[in-house]
Amino acid sequence: MNRAEARVDLNQISANITALINLSGTPVMAVVKADAYGHGLVPVARAAVEAGATALGVALLEEAITLREAGITAPILAWLVPPGSDFKLAVDNDIDLAASSIVALEQIGAVKSSKRPRVHLEVDTGMTRGGFLNEWGKLDAHHVSNIDIVGIFSHFARADEPEQEQNNSQRARFKEMVTTLESFGYTNIVRHLSNSAAILRDEDSRFDMVRAGISIYGLSPDVNNLGSSESLGLKPVMQLRAKLHLVKTVPANSPVGYGATAITKVQTKLGVVAMGYADGIPRIAKDAGVFFNGMKAPIIGRVSMDQFVVDLGADSTAVSGDWVIVFGDGSHGEYTADDWGRASLSINYEIVTRIGPRVPRIYAPHVY
């Protein structure tokens, strides 16, 4: 029996993707990088394609190869494949590659394969991270003579802040760079700019395809600026639960955990939860905890490598071996990934993505 489980509702993945397709009115690329944001790369990718996603997006080449080895034949774009990578492996496996530098284009174009490389040009429109910037004006026919340019894309820096002028300037810059590319004769290309936040709030940036990441997992890109999952028509997909390794009554004035950073104020029952920072529970977390029998039990003391302690309350009926919910969709009053993000001075993205490999993923049609 597992001591902890991340329970993933694949039916809800499908429902979220359907909602995003209907909202955007454009083809959806399901972003499944980072082990599908901690939800499980292959199962989520299969569910996404079955739900109507027209393509899959990953960061790393090895992620794309894993999908191909699992028998997934849908189009895949890998966008963090630096110069020096095994581009032939990508081309042989029908994996589209992102290129953001001339040296990358040259190396991709030098691949010897029975298949022609397919490339999406990544352009920097103002995030100042990946993408062509000063080299954009140096591109010529020589650099793309042995490849097919099939797409052009960029990434918003502040789409989760819809009122920011930078969104408008990035969109305008993207259109300019698309126009330049089209002037070279590349008119049958896929233009994609929107991430989850832009899908939800920016109709003008959807173009030919949108890239849905955090939203397919039912989480809001920014609770403060965009609203909750529920208000966005999404439902969180993952429920994280763990067993109480031990429940015991302790007296008032008992120091708890490393550094004795917390001391019980009254006699109470404490529960030792069988998860820790080695499993992805943030060591910094405060004002979060677990949910048991209709009640929240907050963390007390520091999170350890393999366990953390919660204050169940003097009247709790919990016993050693009981399951507790670390986070879920919040519909029963439990903590959510958003709550854990705030409690860790972070965001929901990090909470779900950092759940470690020691925690098995359990796939079920309905887990709540």
Mean pLDDT computed over 45-68? 98
- pLDDT value of residue 142: 86
**What pLDDT is stored for residue 81 in this prediction?**
98
Is the pLDDT at 335 greater than 50? The verdict is yes
| pLDDT reading at 27 higher than 50 | yes
Q: How confident is the model at residue 140 (pLDDT cuts 50, 70, 90)?
A: confident
pTM of the complete model: 0.96
Average pLDDT of the chain?
96
Per-residue pLDDT, 367? 47
pLDDT of 207 > 60? The answer is yes
Alpha carbon 241 to its chain centroid, in Å, reads 19
Residue 299 has pLDDT above 60, yes or no: yes
pLDDT at 1 (0 to 100): 77
What kind of architecture, by CATH, is found in domain 238-364? Beta Barrel (2.40)
How far apart are alpha carbons 195 and 87 in whole angstroms?
A: 26
In this predicted structure, what is the pLDDT of residue 141?
Answer: 84
Average pLDDT over residues 1-6: 93
The pair of three-digit structure tokens given for residue 244, joined into one six-digit string: 């109480």
Spans of all domains in the chain: 10-218, 238-364
Q: Do β-strands 95-99 and 76-78 pair in parallel, antiparallel, or remain unpaired?
A: parallel
- Beta pairing partners, 256: 262
**Confidence at 121, pLDDT banded by 50, 70, 90:** very high
The pLDDT value given to residue 365: 67
CA distance 40 to 101: 31
- The CATH architecture of the domain made up of 10-218 is Alpha-Beta Barrel (3.20)
| Active-site position among 33, 235, 243, 296 | 33
Q: Under DSSP, is residue 183 helix (H, G, I), strand (E, B) or coil?
A: helix
Length of the chain: 368
Q: What is the mean pLDDT of residues 91-113?
A: 97
Per DSSP, the residues of 255-286 read EESGGG-EE-SS-EEEEEES--GGGT--TT--
366 has pLDDT over 60: no
* pLDDT, average across residues 284-310: 97
Which one is catalytic: 115, 248, 258, 265?
258
Q: State the DSSP H helix or E strand holding residue 37, giving kind and residue range, or none if neither.
A: helix 33-37
Q: Decide if pLDDT at 368 tops 50.
A: no
Q: Is the pLDDT of residue 249 over 50?
A: yes
In angstroms, how far is CA 71 from the centroid of its own chain?
Answer: 22
Residue 316 has pLDDT above 90, yes or no: yes
* Catalytic annotation present for 33: yes
Q: Is 115 a catalytic residue?
A: no
Q: How far apart are CA 250 and CA 326, in angstroms?
A: 22
Query: DSSP class of residue 54?
Result: -
Mean pLDDT of 186-205: 97
